[in-house]
Structure formats: C-alpha cells, structure tokens
Amino acid sequence: MTKPPFAEIYHRQTKYHPATIERGHHIDWNNPPEQFKDYPGAPRIELRPYLPTNESEDWGAMQRLQDTDGPFSLPQLSKLLFATNGVTAMAISGGQKMFFRAAPSAGALYPTDLYLVVRGHADLSDGVYYYHVRDHALIEVYPEGLGPDGDELFRRLAAACFDDKGVAGARVAIVATSVFWRSSWRYGDRAYRRCLLDTGHVLGNFDIIAPKLGLCTFAVGGFVDQEVAELIATPEDKEGVLGVFPLFELGDFERVEPGPSARASSDVEPTPKDDAILSIHDASAIRRNTADSATGPQSSSEDFMLNPKYAFASGTKLKTSELNLNEQIELAILRRRSTRTLSGEPITLTELSDLLGFAYRADLRLPPEQQPRYFDTTLLETFVVVNNVEGLEPGVYYFAPSFMELLSVRPGSVQHEIFHLSLGQELARDASAVIVHTGDLDAATKKFGSRAYRYLHLDAGHIGQRLNVGAIRLELGVSGIGGFFDDEVNALLKIPAQELCVYITCLGKPAS
C-alpha cells in the first residue's frame, strides 16, 4: 500500500477530539512570541506620513489620488499595506499595548508578514522590503548596496515561480509569509492550519483593496519555496513563504501573461523533525529539480461555478438585493472587528444571500481584472448551518454558488450540535447562520499533493475575509472559528471521512 500524502497524516494528527482536547498544548506564558521583526540599523521608509488622517473623506478619495499620484506611489502603497494588514485598533492589557490589524487572526497572534520586492520605483531603491506593521514602515531587508539589483531580484523571483511571465514582467511584487511560532506558541501543532487561514484573511483584504487603488494582481502559489525564502532572506525553519503576488496597473491586465495559480508539491518525504509544523510545511514544499506539475490557469471566483457537489433543481433559490456591497467596502475593512457576542436574533434571507453572493460569486458589474484571485477554489465546498434566519427553516444546507441555491441536507435545528462541536463557543450557538468551509482532502491531494492543504486553507481564509467585511458592511456581526471537533463536523454535515472541515465563520446580529 502506498503511503498517504503527509498532509493527511498532519491533518489526522491535529484533529481535536472531545476526549483529548483537555490535555491540550502547554502555553509558555513567560515566553510570548514577538509580533514584529527587527532589522537593527536597516534603512526605513516611513509610510505613516502618507496615510489619510480622516477616514471617510480621504479613503473615499482613493480614485482621485490614483489619478494624480499613480498606483505605485508611496501614498498608494501606504494605503494598500495599511488596509491589507495594518494596525486598525489598539488596546492596553496588563500595561502592554496590543495592536489589532485590518485582518483578523486566531488568538490575535498575527503570524502573517508581508514583503515588497521593488525595482525601478521613483521613491524606493531596488530591493526587498519588510512591511513593519506596528510602525507602518518599510524596512530594507538587505544591508544597503549588498542586495541584488532590481532586475536580478525579479529574474530570481520569476525563476523560483517556474519562469512565471507575470512575475518576470512586474515592477512590484508582494510576498506573503507566516512566522509559525507566533501562532504555535498558543495552538501547538494545529497552528499551521490557523497560520494559513490567517494569511488567507490578509489576502482577502489585499484583493479587495488593490483594485480600489488602481492595481491588480495574480496569485502564484507554485514556487520553489527555498528560493523565494532565500530571496527575501527569511529563515526557512521559522517562517514559511505562502504566496507571491505580482502587482500591475489595472490597465496592464490584458498584457500580462500569468502562469497557473497553483502547482503540486514535490511531496518529498519530510526529514524527520519533532516539529509537526515544519514537517507539513516541508512536505508541502516545491523543490527544484522535481517534476514540474503545472495545473490549470489562474483561479478566480468564476471557478466556484464548476463545483456543485450535488446536481439539483429543487433547492431554495437565493435572491440578492440591489445593494452593491463592493461600494465603500474599504471603509468596512478599516472598521472591521470580530464580534465577540452575538445576540441570537435572526438575520434576513436577503442579508444571507447578499453576503454569500459577495463572498462566493464573481461580481459581474466588475471587469475581470477586479475579480478576486484564488489558488484553486474548485477544491472548496460550503455548507450553511441555519440557526435563525428569517424565511429559512433551521437545519443544515449545502450551498451551490453557481446556482445561488441552498439544498437542505438535514432539516431541523442543530444549534446544540454546532455549539458543542465548536468547542462550546457561544458564538456558534448564537449565530443566525454558520458557514462551514469543507474540502475533499483525498481529491485535493491527488491534484496538488500535500500543497493542496495550503491552498484549501488559504482560499477558505480568503473567502472568510470576504464574509467578514461583507458582514461589517451590512452592519452584521461576524467571527471566524478555527477550533472545532473535526470528526463531529463530518457527522453533522453527513460528509465522508476523506472530506475535512477547513474553517467555520459565524454570522449574526451583534449583541448590543
């Protein structure tokens, strides 16, 4: 019998079970992780001076700024990074400042970091820059004069991405990473899942905000991990590269020839490590000189149309309203917080429809260059647990985005079960609807090897972020849930063992 891909082993090992959850993971409270990296003495470019000070006025004027300054200008990059992953709130706890970011993060631990690779810029020298979130500054990663020049940087980045022509032709690219320890400090081995989901949320912001600033991007999930990590000078045993995103002006979209958004991992047996996270990251890596397995074109929200699990004609048809959630959505990103208590009151079927439409469907009012870019959404499926939605019977439904239809798979309230399987979190009990993102791990790993595990979680986090900001735009409450009893979710949804629950998003009315 052939060995299963390591992703399956990791997934099995990191399941939560009612009988063992209490044993949990030991948290070393005296040794909390740093949320920011330091580059002592490195040149810095402060981005704060370019940040709008008046929320509604200045952020609303993005289009105007784009005309005058150009989409790659420092004011635009400042806004892009801030609305993607910047500090949007602060609290003091135990005398310590806590910084909350534009994207949510499990346990507010913020493992996601962003790097900018730049060449030929009017105000930035060629180089690699670390985005320091707290300081809202760019820090040069290579000591002055010691890094490769801009053309060499992009030559190497494109080579690492299998000569992706989009990357080769870009002048600015974002590289997203995760510093695993920030999350594993608290969540132990299961943290890799949350790291990926967290980064997916950040990418959700990025995809929403970029077109508002006159920019477009492509997702590149297939790259030689080691080569990109070396290029941005990150230590591979602490920080993993999760995606590369070349940036272009919206008008250049037609001219760019992007490669596939996802490729399979090499699935070389990981060198035995006593760290499950490094093992899964290693097993899902792509190495140089292993088979190059390009699979399909760029993935976008239109792909959701391809994957209805059940062919059916008798579901509840969802009708969206005339409301355009994309309008002023950037303001929802800036004011977004995870709702801590939901009231249990109902949301309407129209609110649910508008949200699902915004999160899962291509917005036909927008041109292709403004559509979200995913790794491979055909891997994901969606169920909706209805606790209290006006106009919809409680129960479990399968959601088919292509038809905007809900198919009842289990009638009757399951409020008690969803509360229990979310580790007894009241958010799930008091939600009006709970969105459950699932995937067929077997089918996904057949396509992409263990790297599918990354794509599944990154894309689910991305969609989760669209649900988050869409809900805030509708003045609803919302929160992700990353901790759940895995096998109990399968039982509730009546899905087979090779399918996995990737993520849960709770929606409802915030308690006042």
Give the footprint of ligand FMN on this chain (CB under 6 A): 100, 104-108, 194, 197-198, 201, 337-338, 425, 427, 479-483
Look up tokens 């008798």; give the residue: 314
- For residue 431, which phi and psi values (nearest 5 degrees)? -70, 150
Distance in Å, CB of 442 to ligand FMN, minimum? 24
**Cβ-count burial 144-178 (b if 16+ within 10 Å, e if not):** eeebbebeebbebbbbbbbebebbbbbbbbbbbbb
Task: Report which residue's Cβ sits closest to ligand FMN.
Answer: 104
Question: Closest CB to ligand FMN among 201 and 212?
Answer: 201
Question: Closest CB to ligand FMN among 86 and 401?
Answer: 86
Cα separation, 344 vs 389, whole angstroms: 10
Question: Closest CB to ligand FMN among 447 and 454?
Answer: 454
Question: Closest CB to ligand FMN among 20 and 93?
Answer: 93
Question: Closest CB to ligand FMN among 200 and 259?
Answer: 200
413 burial via Cβ count (<10 Å: 0-12, 13-18, 19+): middle
Distance in Å, CB of 94 to ligand FMN, minimum? 16
Distance in Å, CB of 481 to ligand FMN, minimum? 4
Cα separation, 303 vs 245, whole angstroms: 19
CA atoms within 13 A on the CB side of 48: 10
Look up tokens 């939605």; give the residue: 389
CB atoms within 10 A of CB 52: 18
Question: Closest CB to ligand FMN among 127 and 200?
Answer: 200
CA atoms within 13 A on the CB side of 159: 12
Distance in Å, CB of 465 to ligand FMN, minimum? 8
CB within 8 A of 20, min separation 6: which ones?
Answer: none
Distance in Å, CB of 511 to ligand FMN, minimum? 13
3-class SS string, 447-479? HHCCHHHHHHHHHHHHHHHHHHHHHHHCCCEEE
Distance in Å, CB of 420 to ligand FMN, minimum? 14
Distance in Å, CB of 506 to ligand FMN, minimum? 8
Distance in Å, CB of 180 to ligand FMN, minimum? 14
Question: Closest CB to ligand FMN among 270 and 483?
Answer: 483
Distance in Å, CB of 338 to ligand FMN, minimum? 3
Question: Closest CB to ligand FMN among 341 and 413?
Answer: 341
Handedness of CA 369, 127, 58, 63 (dihedral sign): negative
Cα separation, 355 vs 348, whole angstroms: 11
Question: Closest CB to ligand FMN among 171 and 337?
Answer: 337
Query: Pairing between strand 389-390 and 347-348?
Result: parallel
Cα separation, 136 vs 511, whole angstroms: 33
Cα separation, 377 vs 117, whole angstroms: 27
